[in-house]
A and B are shown apart, each in its own frame.
Chain A
Amino acid sequence: MKQDTDTPGPMFEVSGLTKIYRTGEVEVRALNGVDLKLEAGEMAVLLGPSGSGKSTLLNIIGGLDRPTAGSVKFRGQELADANDRELTAYRRNHVGFVFQFYNLIPSLTAWENVALITEVSANPMTPDDALALVGLESRMHHFPAQLSGGEQQRVAIARAIAKRPEVLLCDEPTGALDSATGIIVLEALARANEETGATTAIITHNAGIRKIAHRVFSFLDGRIAACDINPVRVKPSEVSW
């Protein structure tokens, strides 16, 4: 998959996206004709109950899964027909991921977890800078088992942004955290979005978080039920749940 950074237009253009899972005789329609555009630098929140299709969409635009039908274009390039090797390269070069359970490598320190990614990236920031961005300069030589949940998630954010990705995809990043810690994590995400300009998509079923986004996509039964624009974004520190 060739990339063309000069192509104007949206970061992602999704149209008629359908994903059907078949388990034995059961057929689950996880996405049912989703249309969506995400602009460069935008912060979007994907909101919805469990099984509404938001994670499936994130997996497809993150290059982890392929749609059954429809099109998903990253900067004008079609992802739907990319092969495994192309998707791996796409994830490696363009996408940063943040997961609910952090997914840090337990045998590497915070610094090494970030360096693991920067050593294979084309134009990364230093691990120290990435960790400073999430406020973890003083904890960078600790192993995951020595960090709190919030700290682990911030290492995960530092790792995701260290390669200066065009896209930052976060799946329930505060799902395993209490609200105070969750706010610290959201602040780190907001700062990363502002400073790196990465298009950021945050999945959550926590409606409180919606106010920090530019736009909020509400999912229901595999479709986008509503798309709301926040006229005024609030800071994460002002959010409560």
Chain B
Amino acid sequence: MNALSMLDRKLVRDLVRLWAQSLAVALVMACGVMTLILALGATRALEDTRAAFYDRTRFGHVFATAIRAPESLGTKIAAIDGVAAVATRIVHPVIIDIDGMAEPATGQLISIPDHGEAAVNRLYLRSGRLPEPGRPDEVTVIEAFAEAHGFRSGDSFAALINGRKRQLRITGVTLSPEHVYAIGPGDIVPDQKRYGVVHMRRTTLDGAYDMQSAFNSVSLTLSRHANKKQVMARLDAILKPYGGVAAHDRSDHPSDAFLDAELVQLKAMAQVIPPIFLFISAFLVNMILSRLIALEREQIGLLKAVGYSNSGIAWHYAKLTLVISVAGVIIGAVAGTRLGHGMASLYSEFFSFPFLVFSQRPDLYVIATLVTFAAALAGAANAIRGAVRLPPAVAMRPPAPTRYRSLFGGADSGFRPLFSHLTVMALRHLVRWPVRTALTTLGTALPVALLITSLFAFDSIDSMIDTVWFRADRQDATLTFAASQSEDAIRSVAHLPGVIAAEPFRAEAATLRHGHLSRQVQIIGTDPHTDISRVLDRDFRPVRLPPNGLLLSERLASHLDLRPGDAVEVELRNGQERRVLVPLVGVTNSYIGLNANMSRGALDRLSGQAARISGARVIIDDNRTEDLYDAVKQTPAIASVALQGVSREKFRAMIEENIGISVTVYVSLAIIITVGVIYNSARIQLSERARELASLRVFGFTNGEVSRVLLTELGVMVVLAQPLGWLIGRGFSELVATGFESDLFRIPLVITPPTYALSSLVVLGAALVSALIVRRRIDRLDLIRVLKTRD
């Protein structure tokens, strides 16, 4: 300590004396640093990994499908200005039958060139080798599917390929840029066991689907300065005669869209949560430093009197702030880095990248440090300015006594029967420092809000599950045909073993246009009296589909700027190029996807073709599910099957696991904030009022009575903080719900009374514990010492 200047020695001793308060502030700062590092680090991890993986595997920029396009079009497509590479291929849905698994899995068969690597969407080989050309039973499978079943090279499984059950042998396990987030049709969370992506050599698939010299899927990469829109328009024109479905870019690719949705959430977290902590730490620093400077008035005067400069004194207190900040940054950085690794490994469960490294680049830590220092110094600025402004002579005189005033214009004296004088003392003190009271109340309200913001997801997901699976899509399974069938097919479905009820649906890919706005969607046509799968209006009531007109989900209607009564131009992508104006007859509620519904009859008329159905939604007898699964595996006409019941359970399990983790994190964060705010607030009150409280003890008031003054003050602020916290929490939750909203899914804003209650209980509990810790100090007040000194 000899090397330290005298002021630095004072600094060290101040810190030792104020260790508990400083630690409480440092922990709040640490939470800010941790969440910032976590959110930014995870964002970078995902962004960097995605960019590197896409680059390495040449993930396509533009995708399109056709029914059957001649291979010669490939050259024509490659000649479009701006196209760097083209890959034509064959893609087909497939039903997979795995030994020991009763329910059928669905999958996608995707062709790879017979020789060499694909020009676009290359596979990343994790193990084994690619199929040998000329060996039709050889395939590779994506890693998530392989891991879910414990598959290795050499293992085999059966698939229903174009009506024929074939045994396929795995030669390798791959990753694909198209399936970083592999999700089956009709699922809203990945089910690695029930969804597989299988790659085969082109010749094999050509033969299986009779597609010699033809393709039904094409992906392009673009050169750097390409005009994507023009390329897509040209591609559409080339493919249109061959049943070409409008081209889409990466952002509409499901896997990439899910990754994007995750990134949006991470960025929202980085923008909302760390600022809360930084704001609270700035406030706490201000509170502690103001009190310290008030206590050290005479010392400051003395220092100035003996020649210390204003800047020297300002730097002394700034250093105190910075030392606390450094502690906060170190704790936060260590915790953030550790949690970051945990988060990266959690991500690697959801996203299939060959590597996923949590970003630890130094600039991340520099940003976190600078932001924390800035917040702390901003909090300290006002207090330090006060110290600088004290003239030496004034500083060495005691401050003028604090002026109080009666509440309600003196009417508080009239409340004698209501409030004891001890309570009046507490209330007047609160009113005497309105800014501090307001900020402390806000500081206590924020953890309540934070908890509501994390806990509301439980309520919302419950409500979503209820709406999606118990009010709207009540089927146990959705069977989709390989090709559309006549209406009679529904009878065959109804006769499948285990099927209790079946409802047909027709799905048609369509482009909806309104003014300059357009969207590619699937229009689902069902019978007006449908009961298994229902369309819900905005009040969640089932809608009876009108004989004419279209119903769109709220988000889709708003994308197209449509209101009920408006006409929307519909072009079915069935090669007929007919554009028909259809009235929008209603807006519906949907949490998953962009939905367009109409009655099946209306859709049939719109298609200009006979009544056809694309599949059926069925209710299954629980005791006969396996019989149905067996039958589906043997039915060539069924291309895929989505099991809503399995999906629902999978979804619930995944959400509960995720929410479980985040609730633990948020409860810890809320407790840290509450303790930071209430403990510091109580310590400062005690410091300011030690003399007053000691006087009360001298006059014969008991420890309990004296504590009541302090606890009443804290209690009033903590109680006021609850409704404020509920309001802010509701606002934050609304932001989060809006932030989550994407074309893929949205979550409703539902907050139940138990969520409000639980959030408040956690904060009230933490506040009570902090207050009681400080209360013990009242028992230890040195009555004689405080009475001998002046305030």
Give the B-binding residues of A (Cβ under 8 A). Answer: 55, 59, 62, 64-65, 85, 88-93, 95, 97, 99, 101, 103, 105-109, 111-112, 115-117, 119-120, 141, 143-146, 159, 171
**A169 smallest CB distance to B (angstroms):** 10
Q: A103-B787, A143-B403 are in contact. List 17 more A-B contacts (CB 8 A).
A: A55-B788, A91-B698, A92-B699, A92-B701, A101-B791, A103-B692, A103-B695, A103-B698, A105-B695, A107-B428, A108-B424, A116-B422, A141-B410, A144-B401, A145-B401, A145-B402, A159-B699
Asked if B421 CB lies within 8 Å of chain A CBs, one says: yes
A92 to B413, CA, bound (A): 23
List the A residue with the shortest CB-CB distance to B789: A101
Asked if B367 CB lies within 8 Å of chain A CBs, one says: no
B402: A residues at CB distance < 8 A: 106-107, 145
25 A-B pairs with CB atoms under 8 Å apart are A65-B784, A88-B697, A88-B700, A90-B700, A91-B699, A92-B701, A93-B700, A97-B698, A97-B699, A101-B790, A105-B695, A105-B696, A106-B401, A107-B402, A108-B421, A108-B424, A108-B428, A112-B413, A117-B699, A119-B420, A119-B421, A141-B413, A143-B405, A145-B403, A145-B404
A112: B residues at CB distance < 8 A: 413, 421, 424
Q: What string of 1s and 0s marks CB contacts (under 8 Å) between B419-449 and chain A?
A: 0111011001100100000000000000000
Q: What string of 1s and 0s marks CB contacts (under 8 Å) between B469-496 and chain A?
A: 0000000000000000000000000000
**A92 smallest CB distance to B (angstroms):** 2
A90 to B692, CA, bound (A): 20
Q: What string of 1s and 0s marks CB contacts (under 8 Å) between B194-231 and chain A?
A: 00000000000000000000000000000000000000
List the A residue with the shortest CB-CB distance to B787: A99
A109 to B139, CA, bound (A): 90
A95: B residues at CB distance < 8 A: 700
B692: A residues at CB distance < 8 A: 103, 105-106
A111 to B406, CA, bound (A): 13
**B462 smallest CB distance to A (angstroms):** 49
Determine which residue in B400, B403, B787 has the highest number of CB atoms from chain A within 10 A of its CB, and name it. B787
Asked if B691 CB lies within 8 Å of chain A CBs, one says: yes
Determine which residue in A59, A88, A107 has the highest number of CB atoms from chain B within 10 A of its CB, and name it. A107
B410: A residues at CB distance < 8 A: 141
A88 to B694, CA, bound (A): 12
Whether B425 contacts A120 by the Cβ 8 Å rule is no
Whether B406 contacts A109 by the Cβ 8 Å rule is yes
**B176 smallest CB distance to A (angstroms):** 72
Asked if B299 CB lies within 8 Å of chain A CBs, one says: no
**B430 smallest CB distance to A (angstroms):** 10
A100 to B212, CA, bound (A): 108
A141: B residues at CB distance < 8 A: 410, 413
Give which listed residue, B400, B696, B783, contacts A64 with CB less than 8 A: B783
B703: A residues at CB distance < 8 A: 88
A92: B residues at CB distance < 8 A: 699-701
List the B residue with the shortest CB-CB distance to A160: B699
Whether B425 contacts A64 by the Cβ 8 Å rule is no
B757-791 contacts to A, CB under 8 A, are: 783-784, 787-788, 790-791
Q: Which 7 A-B pairs have the closest CB atoms?
A: A92-B700, A91-B700, A107-B428, A145-B401, A103-B695, A116-B421, A107-B404
Whether B787 contacts A108 by the Cβ 8 Å rule is no
A97 to B700, CA, bound (A): 10
A99 to B787, CA, bound (A): 8
List the B residue with the shortest CB-CB distance to A94: B700
A95 to B701, CA, bound (A): 12
Whether B784 contacts A115 by the Cβ 8 Å rule is no
List the A residue with the shortest CB-CB distance to B431: A107
B429: A residues at CB distance < 8 A: 107
A89-B700 contact, Cβ under 8 Å, with A145-B403, A145-B404: yes
List the B residue with the shortest CB-CB distance to A100: B788
Q: What string of 1s and 0s marks CB contacts (under 8 Å) between B681-704 and chain A?
A: 000000000011001111111110
Whether B425 contacts A107 by the Cβ 8 Å rule is yes
Whether B700 contacts A120 by the Cβ 8 Å rule is yes
B422: A residues at CB distance < 8 A: 116
B371-419 contacts to A, CB under 8 A, are: 400-406, 410, 413
